[in-house]
Structure 1
Amino acid sequence: MNTPPSPKSLTPTTSSPPAAELRSVRPAVGAPMGVAEGVPTAVLPDQQIVDGRHVTAWLTIRVPRKGTPTASSWCACGRDLFASGHAKVLALSEDHTAHRDACPLRTSDTASEGRAAA
């Protein structure tokens, strides 16, 4: 309870608040709170169709405005080349195209497909 302030005290004295009551926590059963009925909570598998194809080679050409063009040629067989400048980028582009026919990863796939078709 509040007591009137004494003439010497500037702050009123109050009684301490009651002790907090302890509550028992119920065990969680069922769906979490906030989940609507009929909404799946599990993550579903990706529905994309996979046909077995994957990236074997990649050519990237960058031509910045008022800058020097650059290119990079990458292949899963271990080829990783870079070129800078107009002439070198054109040469790398042609070399990348020629590598498609000579790449050991692609030539072995093409040969096995041809035998399977025959």
Structure 2
Amino acid sequence: MTTHRNPAKPALAPESGRALRVVAEGVPAAVRPDKRARDGRYPIAWLTITAPRGVTPTATSICQCGRNLFAAGHHKALALIADHTDHKTRCPLRADQEGAAA
């Protein structure tokens, strides 16, 4: 009598609570949450900071309202980062979103 499992059948879910699915015959893979699930929010502004060791740091602030700013140098990049944070309170696109939610 053999006790091996049939490789064509899906594996049982582990004790951790994550369900498994079979992607190939006998090869289980963890099922992850759908990253594309929408909750009504979406990004409208991006801040990109580049500061490699020994090179001038840079920062870019882009927003869907038309904002597109760039700064190079330590002090200018820090000022742009602070301005990007402040822009969140002044952006007309964010004000519309927050008003609609209320």
TM-score, normalising length: structure 1: 0.55
**1:49 counterpart residue number:** 37
Structure 1: runs of 5+ lacking an equivalent? 1-46
**Distance in 1 between residues matched to 2:99 and 2:38, nearest whole Å:** 23
**2:77 counterpart residue number:** 89
Cα RMSD between the aligned structures? Answer: 2.2
Select the structure that is richer in strand: 2
Q: Does 1:61 align with 2:57?
A: no
Identity %: 53
**1:74 counterpart residue number:** 62
Q: Highest CA radius of gyration, 1 or 2?
A: 1
C-alpha deviation, 1:112, in angstroms: 2.0
C-alpha deviation, 1:55, in angstroms: 1.1
4+ long deviations beyond 2 Å: none
* Letter of the structure 2 residue corresponding to residue 78 of structure 1: G
**Distance in 2 between residues matched to 1:72 and 1:102, nearest whole Å:** 18
**1:112 counterpart residue number:** 100
C-alpha deviation, 1:52, in angstroms: 2.4
Secondary structure of 1:77 counterpart:
coil
**Distance in 2 between residues matched to 1:106 and 1:53, nearest whole Å:** 11
